[in-house]
Amino acid sequence: MGLVVTLGLLAWALHGVDARAVVDHVRRASPWLLCATIVIATLTFPLRALRWRLILRDVGGSELPLLPLWHATAIGFMANNLLPVRAGEVARAYAARQAVSVRFTTALASIGVERVFDALVMVGLMTVALVAPSFPRQATIGGVSVSRLATIAGALSVAVLVVALLVVHRPAPWLAALASLARTLLPARHADRVAHVAGGLVAGLEVLKSPGRFLAVVAWSLVLWLVNAASFAVCFRAFGLPLPAEGAFLLQGIIGFGVALPSSPGFIGVFEAATRGTLAIYGIDATRAVSYAVAYHVGTFFPITLLGLYSLSRMRLHLTELRAAAPVDD
C-alpha cells in the first residue's frame, strides 16, 4: 500500500514538470542558503532528544541521560528514511530500551505523546499562516479547504490528548476494562500480555500528570517547530521564491500530516506532492515547487541518516535487528 501511495503521489507531483528546468532551478539556488537550510533542519533532531528527555523516565521515575536518548532519536529517524511503514518509531523505542532502563511500551507511548504535541503545535502555527493577510482565502488542496483540513487535524489531536489525560489521571478503571475485554476475547496468556503492555503504555503518559513538565514539553515543541519552519523559510530564499515567511508554517503542517500516510521509506512522493500542493496556493508553478521539494528533501535526508547509522554502530545494533524489533522482553 505504501508503494502504491508513493508512486501515485510521485506521479501527480511530477506531472507536467520539466526535468531540465528542475535541474536548472536547483543549480541556480544559493548554495550558502541551501547549506544553512540543511544545518537548521538537522538541528531539530537534537531538540527532539532534549524534549524526549522531559517526557520519558526510567522504570524508577528518574531522569534519563541525554546521550543514549540522542542515539535512539538519530536511529529512529534514520530508520524512517531507510525502512518502510514508519518503522523508525518502533526502532527508536527499541534502541531506547537497549540503552537505558525503560520498557519498550513506555518508550513507544512517550513517542506517541510527542506526536500529539507535534500535531497541536503544527496546527497552531498553521493557523497563524491561515489568518495572515498573505493567505488566499479560498485555497484548497485536493478540492478540500485548507482551513478545514487544519480544523480536522486540530480536533483529532485535541481528542487524542483529552483521552490520554483521562487515562493517565485515572488509569485503574481503563486498565481494568481493557483487561476484562482481553480476557473475554483472547486466551489467558495473550490477555495477560495485553494487560502488561497496556501498563507500559500508560507509564509513557506520565508527563501529562506534571504541570511543569507538561508546559516545558509545550515550550520545547514550539521551539522545535519554529526552528523547523525556519529551515523551510531559508530554503524559500535560497530559491528566490516570493513567499511570506508564515508560508513555512503552512508548508511544514501539510507535510507533517501528509507523512502520516503509508508510503515508501523516506516519505518519497508524499513530501513532493505536499510541497507542490502547498506552494501552488501561493502561486508557485509546479516546476519551481518540485525543484524546491527535491533540493530540500535530498539535502535534509543525508545528515540524519548518516548520524543514525553512526549511532547504530555505537550501540552495536543492526538494521535487520531494527526491522524485527518487538517488545519480546518488555
pLDDT of residue 74: 96
- How much is the pTM? 0.85
What are the boundaries of each domain within the chain? 65-240+294-323
Cβ atoms 175, 138 nearer than 8 A: no
SS3 63: strand
Q: Would you say 289 and 280 are in contact if contact means Cβ atoms under 8 Å apart? A: yes
In this predicted model, what pLDDT tens digit does every residue of 243-269 receive, in sequence order? Answer: 999 999 999 999 988 887 767 788 888
Higher pLDDT, 303 or 5: 303
Q: What is the pLDDT of residues 80-103, one digit of tens each?
A: 998 876 788 889 999 999 988 888
Helices marked H in the chain: 2-14, 19-28, 31-55, 66-82, 87-99, 104-131, 146-169, 171-185, 188-203, 211-238, 247-258, 270-281, 286-314, 319-323
Nearest C-alpha neighbor of 204 from the set 77, 61, 45, 79: 61
pLDDT tens figures, 186-229: 887 777 777 767 776 776 677 778 888 889 998 999 999 999 99
Note the pLDDT tens digit of each residue in 21-80: 999 999 999 999 999 999 999 999 999 999 999 988 877 778 899 999 999 999 999 999
pLDDT for position 38: 97
Looking at residue 326, its pLDDT comes to 53
pLDDT confidence of residue 141: 64
Give 86 or 161, the one with higher predicted confidence: 161
- Cβ contacts of residue 197 below 8 Å, gap of 6+? 105, 327, 330
The CB-based long-range contact list for 22-29 (8 Å cut-off, 24+ gap) reads 22/287, 22/290, 22/291, 22/294, 25/239, 25/287, 25/288, 25/291, 25/292, 26/291, 26/294, 26/295, 29/238, 29/239, 29/240, 29/291, 29/295
Give the percent of the chain with pLDDT over 70.
93
Residue with cell 519498550: 104
